[in-house]
Amino acid sequence: MILTDTHTHLYSEAFDEDRSEAIERAMALGVQRFFIPAIDSTYTEAMCDLEKSFPNNIFLMMGLHPTHVKENYEAELQHVEEMLEQRKFYAVGEIGIDLFWDKTFLKEQQEAFRRQIRLAKKYKLPIVIHCRDAFDEVFKVLESEKDDDLYGIFHCFTGTLEQAKKALSYNMKLGIGGVVTFKNGKIDKFLAEIPLKHIVLETDSPYLAPVPYRGKRNESAYLMNVLEKLAEVYGESAEVVANMTTENSKQIFGI
C-alpha cells in the first residue's frame, strides 16, 4: 500500500527539530510520496534542500501563496517564473485567494492567481489552489481561464457539495485532509456523493492535524487518520482508498 501526501510543508520551521524523523515515520506507514507546495521566495532554498535529502520521495511545486501576495508581489512572481524556467517542478502552487486574514490585497491576489494559472499552462503543469473565504472569487478567475489546459487540485477542500461539483467542472480533484475527521467539518456528510476518482489525500502539515491530534502539529504520518476516515465514508477498504488516491495523484502530477 503506497500513500501519497499531495500537500505538506515539510520544509516549515515547525519541523526544524525532527524533519527527517517525521518523514521516516510517515514512510514506515506507507506514505512514500510527498508533494511540497511553495509559499514565497524565502522558502525556496529550504525546499530544494529537502528534495536533496529525499530525492526519490519529495516532489516540489513552485508558486506564490495568496497570503504572501503583498506590495512586492511583482518581484515574487518574477521569482516563480525564473524558477519554472530553471528546473523541473510538478505543479504551480499553492496559489489562489485568501480573504480570511486580510482583504487589503484582493486585487493583487486575483492578478497573481491569474498570472500563475497562465504560467502553469505555459509549462503544462497542474495548479494547486488555496481558497479560504473566497470560493466566489476563485471560481470567477477559474471561469475566465477555463480550457483543456486548466487542471489540478483544489487543496484543503472545505466547501459544500455544490461547490465541490463546481470545482470538479474546472478539471480539479479535491484535496481532502484532516478537516474530514472534524465533528464540525461537514464535508464527511456529502463526500461519498463525489466519486473517489476525484479525490486525493493530503495533510497540509504542519497545519490542520486530524482527530485525535487536532490542535497539535500535523505531520505526514497522520495521513493514516485521513485514510481511515475516507475508507469509512466511502465504505471501502483502506487499501482501495490508498491505491485509488495515489493513482489520482499520478494523473495530476504526472509521476
Give the CB-side neighbour count of residue 116, counting CA atoms within 13 A. Answer: 37
CA distances from 75 to 40, 81, 82, 97, 103 (A): 10, 10, 11, 18, 20
Confidence of residue 86 (pLDDT cuts 50, 70, 90): very high
Cβ atoms < 10 Å from Cβ of 83: 18
**pTM as predicted:** 0.97
Torsion of CA 28, 33, 38, 39, to 10 degrees: -40
Grid coordinates in use for 218? Answer: 500535523
How confident is the model over 200-219, as pLDDT tens digits?
999 999 999 999 999 999 99
Which pLDDT score is estimated for 165?
98
Q: Count other Cβ atoms within 10 Å, centred on residue 8.
A: 28
Q: What is the CA angle 153-234-217, rounded to 5?
A: 55
93-108: average pLDDT: 95
> Are 190 and 234 in contact, with CB atoms under 8 Å apart?
no
Whole-Å CA distances, 153 to 78, 129, 168, 172, 204: 23, 6, 9, 5, 13
Mean predicted confidence (pLDDT) in 101-111: 94
What pLDDT is stored for residue 167 in this prediction?
Answer: 98
Q: CATH number of 3-14+21-253: 3.20.20.140, 3.40.50.1220, 3.40.50.720, 3.30.310.10?
A: 3.20.20.140
pLDDT category at 101 given cuts 50, 70, 90 is confident
Q: What is the pLDDT of residue 181?
A: 97
Asked if pLDDT for residue 224 goes beyond 90, the answer is yes
Q: Answer yes or no: are the C-beta atoms of 1 and 29 closer than 8 Å.
A: no
In degrees and rounded to multiples of 5, residue 130 shows phi and psi of -105, 125
Task: Please give the pLDDT value at position 253.
Answer: 98
Instruction: Write down the pLDDT at residue 41.
Output: 98
Rounded to an integer, the average pLDDT of 38-42 is 98
| Percent with pLDDT over 70 in the chain | 100
Angstrom CA distances, 140 to 36, 120, 134, 166, 243, stand at 26, 18, 10, 11, 33
Percentage above 90 pLDDT, the chain: 98
Domain ranges for the chain = 3-14+21-253
φ, ψ for residue 193, nearest 5 deg? -80, -10
Summary mean pLDDT of the chain = 97
Confidence of residue 185 (pLDDT cuts 50, 70, 90): confident
